[in-house]
Amino acid sequence: MKIVVLDGYAANPGDFSWEKMDRLGECVVYDRTAPEELVVRAQGAEALLTNKTVITEEVMGLLPDLKYIGVLATGYNVVDIEAARRRGIVVTNIPAYSTESVAQMVFAHLLNITQRVGYYADENKRGRWTTSEDFCYWSTPLIELAGKRMGIVGLGNTGMATARIALAFGMEVIAYTSKKKEELPEGVVACSLEELFATADVVSLHCPLTEDTKDMVNADRLRLMKPTAILINTGRGPLVNEGDLAEALDKGRILAAGLDVLSQEPPKADNPLLTACNCFITPHIAWATIEARERLLDVAVKNLQHYIAGCPINNVVQL
């Protein structure tokens, strides 16, 4: 069986081996694949693995040997699922591999905003502490998390993991969720979306991107938030109206934002959040810890092994 990995660099830039995948067939790995290169590279492949390379119905139609698409991520919107179903192509994803890493990034952003460790470390490299008149100094608000209210939008795997960490910090946790009251962990209280935005000291987004959730964080909801509130988004970039958030930050309507995702990645140079006040952006790396990527690749191999054995797992297409 011929296996083609279309864009392996993000998941494995060279710190892991593709040996386990090699054992399953003739495996060809490309770091990146441009749209115009896809069909040529994928010719003769029974199995394609993709992270962000889009596989459309047109592409499927030009690849008669294609029987399996493995998405190297949890989200699978890069594949035309309905077209795959019609053609009998198995499509798998990698669920829940980065749950703990993403929750960790929530607090990396939150602690950066509340304690500004990076800022003070840089200031001290420039000699600020050595010239201080006092034994210590600070020039930003320093905020304790204990007793603050964490509002979590969406209580899936990462939302639940974030809630556990928040409770460990001594935070009060409220959530907007479809889960029933008896399904909520101890210490987590369900509430409306409006109450969450209006009363939370920290709002963390963990819901899927749908027509209903696109631009969920907009001017109206930002006006509900406290001027001391912090927004964290490690979910999906389009959950946030970026122009509205930039304006809210620049006008001091909320204190800060920590973002690991944007609506377009890489972002355009004129994205207003890149220069917004108190906006801290990381380049979509919450999922990319060594441990999470190792789990991702292990599950990718298991998915393909089960397909070969005739019993697919993590199949997102109902054939």
What are the tens digits of pLDDT across the range 150-173? 999 999 999 999 999 999 999 999
Other CB atoms within a 10 A radius of the CB of residue 313 amount to: 13
pLDDT band at 14 (very low <50, low <70, confident <90, very high): very high
Decide: 15 and 38 in contact? Cβ < 8 Å: no
Instruction: Give the active site residues.
Output: 236, 265, 284
Position of tokens 């092994």?
305
Residue 212 half-sphere exposure, CB side, CA atoms within 13 Å?
3
Closest CA to 68 of 21, 31, 32: 21
**Residues 204-238: pLDDT tens digits?**
999 999 999 999 999 999 999 999 999 999 999 99
Instruction: Give the CB-side neighbour count of residue 75, counting CA atoms within 13 A.
Output: 12
Does residue 319 surpass a pLDDT of 90? no
Spatial contact of 256 and 230, defined as CB atoms under 8 Å apart: yes
Name residues whose C-beta falls within 8 Å of residue 10's C-beta, 6 or more positions apart in sequence: 51, 52, 72, 288
68: how many CB neighbours lie within 10 A of its CB? 22
- The answer to whether the 2-97+290-308 and 99-281 domains have the same CATH topology is yes
Q: Specify whether the CB–CB gap between 175 and 190 falls below 8 A.
A: yes
- Kindly tell me the burial class for residue 309, based on how many C-beta atoms sit within 10 Å of its own C-beta (0-12, 13-18, 19 or more): exposed
Domain ranges of the chain: 2-97+290-308, 99-281
Q: For residues 29 and 6, what is the distance between their CA atoms, to the nearest angstrom?
A: 7
Homologous superfamily (CATH) for 2-97+290-308: NAD(P)-binding Rossmann-like Domain (3.40.50.720)
The model's pTM is 0.93
Which CATH number applies to 99-281?
3.40.50.720
Confidence of residue 71 (pLDDT cuts 50, 70, 90): very high
Four-CA torsion 54, 56, 58, 60, nearest 10 degrees: 90
105-128 b/e with 16+ CB inside 10 Å = b?
Answer: bbbbbbebbbbbeeebeebeeeee
